[in-house]
Amino acid sequence: MDKTNHREMEAMIADIERETLLTHNTIGKSALDDKVLAAIRAVPRHVFVPPELRDQAYGNYPLPIGGGQTISQPFIVALMSDLLNLPLNATVLEVGAGSGYQSAVLAHLARRVYSIEIVPQLARRAAQTLQELGIANVEVQCGDGYLGRSENAPYDGIIVTAAAPHIPPPLVEQLKPGARLVIPVGLPYMPQQLLVVERNPDGGLTRRNALLVAFVPLTGKHAAASPNIARAGTDSLMK
């Protein structure tokens, strides 16, 4: 990373820290974990954005990456990574690889990351970018992330980077006891709840709303159903 990108990275980190303070009453903390910020610093965000937008790569806002998808706001990437509360040597499932940026951040926090992307060209591009960066502990698969990836379950954490109309039951089933699912839930292009869903040792769920967010919608033929799991668990709404 050259000096210009380094300065822009540090400015982005300062923006993340500032926004964390501004939202501390809702997210429940005034500072993110040091290891999460270290993971953010370790990933050159400009590599994951289209060439024509690289002068904006370190701005604290989302950017289009093609296919109607975006690379998420850095603060949201950092917050969702923090909310996972991953243990050492974690195995993580990511639904929605997009550009691969969130995958790359998770690669610095987990032993293994399995990422699913429904848009074939985005899946290929994300895998190529990660390979070019020498990130070898992320596997990108093209498919419908609503169903998860049962062959590698259970997971120490699951993160969803698109808004679902409800909590997908297959993802809950693939969580280890004590593990968390971090997912935006709500209608497309409307304020959504960023939910933290934790699977209790007895199999029950506890969930809370960490923040109001706006994500592109989760796509695929399974995303439109409305199972009862959408209301399962105990709500502790923070906003």
List 227's β-bridge partners, or say none. none
Active site residue 236: no
Give me the catalytic one of 30, 72, 115, 226: 72
Q: Is the Cα torsion angle 20, 194, 232, 98 positive or negative in sign?
A: negative
Cα distances (angstroms) measured from residue 71 to each of 46, 49, 82, 94: 11, 7, 18, 14
CA torsion sign for 217, 218, 224, 225 is negative
Query: Which residues carry out catalysis?
Result: 72
